[in-house]
Amino acid sequence: MAIDQTNVSRILNTKNYVRQEFGAPEYSTCPGSKEPSTIQGETSRKLSFREKQIVHLIQQAKSNKEIAFELCLTVGTVKEYIYHIFRKIGVTNRTELALWGREYQRELEPIEAAS
Protein backbone atom coordinates (compact mmCIF):
# COMPACT_ATOMS: atom_id res chain seq x y z
CA MET A 1 0.00 0.00 0.00
CA ALA A 2 1.55 3.25 -1.15
CA ILE A 3 1.20 6.45 0.86
CA ASP A 4 -0.25 9.31 -1.11
CA GLN A 5 1.90 12.33 -0.23
CA THR A 6 -0.89 14.71 -1.25
CA ASN A 7 -3.23 13.24 1.38
CA VAL A 8 -0.52 13.30 4.04
CA SER A 9 0.20 16.92 3.24
CA ARG A 10 -3.50 17.84 3.36
CA ILE A 11 -3.96 16.08 6.73
CA LEU A 12 -0.96 17.85 8.25
CA ASN A 13 -2.11 21.23 6.93
CA THR A 14 -5.64 20.65 8.29
CA LYS A 15 -4.20 19.77 11.70
CA ASN A 16 -2.14 22.98 11.73
CA TYR A 17 -5.16 25.02 10.56
CA VAL A 18 -7.36 23.64 13.33
CA ARG A 19 -4.62 24.27 15.90
CA GLN A 20 -4.20 27.89 14.77
CA GLU A 21 -7.92 28.62 14.26
CA PHE A 22 -9.13 27.26 17.57
CA GLY A 23 -6.11 28.01 19.71
CA ALA A 24 -5.25 24.39 20.46
CA PRO A 25 -1.96 24.13 22.36
CA GLU A 26 1.25 23.04 20.71
CA TYR A 27 2.61 19.87 22.23
CA SER A 28 6.30 19.21 22.59
CA THR A 29 7.76 16.08 21.09
CA CYS A 30 8.53 14.80 24.58
CA PRO A 31 5.53 15.33 26.88
CA GLY A 32 7.47 14.01 29.87
CA SER A 33 9.88 16.94 29.69
CA LYS A 34 7.31 19.64 30.40
CA GLU A 35 7.33 21.61 33.63
CA PRO A 36 4.30 21.58 35.91
CA SER A 37 1.95 24.26 34.64
CA THR A 38 0.74 25.57 37.98
CA ILE A 39 2.05 28.20 40.32
CA GLN A 40 3.30 27.30 43.77
CA GLY A 41 0.56 26.27 46.13
CA GLU A 42 -2.18 26.04 43.51
CA THR A 43 -1.62 22.37 42.75
CA SER A 44 -1.40 21.05 46.29
CA ARG A 45 -4.72 22.70 47.15
CA LYS A 46 -6.28 20.69 44.33
CA LEU A 47 -5.09 17.45 45.89
CA SER A 48 -7.59 15.67 48.09
CA PHE A 49 -6.78 14.57 51.62
CA ARG A 50 -6.17 10.99 50.43
CA GLU A 51 -3.97 12.14 47.53
CA LYS A 52 -1.82 14.14 49.95
CA GLN A 53 -1.48 11.04 52.12
CA ILE A 54 -0.34 9.04 49.10
CA VAL A 55 2.21 11.70 48.08
CA HIS A 56 3.61 11.57 51.62
CA LEU A 57 3.90 7.77 51.50
CA ILE A 58 5.53 7.84 48.06
CA GLN A 59 8.10 10.25 49.49
CA GLN A 60 8.89 7.52 52.03
CA ALA A 61 9.57 5.14 49.09
CA LYS A 62 6.58 2.94 49.91
CA SER A 63 5.39 0.51 47.24
CA ASN A 64 1.79 0.48 46.01
CA LYS A 65 1.19 -2.65 48.08
CA GLU A 66 2.54 -1.00 51.24
CA ILE A 67 0.46 2.14 50.62
CA ALA A 68 -2.64 0.02 50.07
CA PHE A 69 -2.07 -1.86 53.34
CA GLU A 70 -1.40 1.30 55.35
CA LEU A 71 -4.46 3.16 54.01
CA CYS A 72 -6.77 0.11 53.86
CA LEU A 73 -7.22 0.37 50.09
CA THR A 74 -6.78 -2.07 47.22
CA VAL A 75 -3.63 -1.88 45.11
CA GLY A 76 -5.81 -0.96 42.11
CA THR A 77 -7.27 2.01 44.00
CA VAL A 78 -3.78 3.20 44.94
CA LYS A 79 -2.75 3.01 41.27
CA GLU A 80 -5.79 5.10 40.31
CA TYR A 81 -4.95 7.72 42.93
CA ILE A 82 -1.35 7.87 41.73
CA TYR A 83 -2.48 8.24 38.10
CA HIS A 84 -4.75 11.16 39.08
CA ILE A 85 -1.99 12.79 41.15
CA PHE A 86 0.43 12.53 38.20
CA ARG A 87 -2.12 14.24 35.94
CA LYS A 88 -2.96 17.00 38.43
CA ILE A 89 0.65 17.85 39.19
CA GLY A 90 2.11 17.24 35.75
CA VAL A 91 4.74 14.64 36.65
CA THR A 92 5.43 11.34 34.92
CA ASN A 93 6.94 9.11 37.60
CA ARG A 94 7.22 8.51 41.34
CA THR A 95 10.64 10.15 41.60
CA GLU A 96 9.34 13.41 40.12
CA LEU A 97 6.35 13.18 42.46
CA ALA A 98 8.61 12.71 45.50
CA LEU A 99 10.71 15.71 44.45
CA TRP A 100 7.57 17.77 43.90
CA GLY A 101 6.36 16.75 47.36
CA ARG A 102 9.65 17.87 48.89
CA GLU A 103 9.33 21.25 47.17
CA TYR A 104 5.77 21.73 48.45
CA GLN A 105 6.38 20.05 51.84
CA ARG A 106 5.05 23.02 53.80
CA GLU A 107 1.63 22.67 52.20
CA LEU A 108 1.56 18.92 52.79
CA GLU A 109 2.61 19.14 56.48
CA PRO A 110 -0.89 19.52 57.99
CA ILE A 111 -1.82 16.22 56.33
CA GLU A 112 1.16 14.50 57.92
CA ALA A 113 0.17 15.72 61.38
CA ALA A 114 -3.38 14.44 60.87
CA SER A 115 -2.32 10.94 59.82
As a whole number, mean pLDDT of residues 32-38 equals 46
Q: Is 55 exposed, middle or buried (0-12, 13-18, 19+ CB in 10 A)?
A: buried
Angle between helices 94-103 and 105-114 (to 10 degrees): 90
Enumerate domains of the chain plus CATH numbers.
42-115 (1.10.10.10)
Q: How far apart are CA 42 and CA 49, in angstroms?
A: 15
∠ Cα 50 55 57 (to 5°): 95
* pLDDT value at 46 more than 80: yes
pLDDT tens digits for 50-100? 999 999 999 999 999 999 999 999 999 999 999 999 999 999 999 999 999
pLDDT given for residue 74 in this prediction: 96
Amino acid sitting at position 7: N
CA dihedral 64, 70, 102, 42 (to 10 degrees): 90
Q: How far apart are CA 45 and CA 83, in angstroms?
A: 17
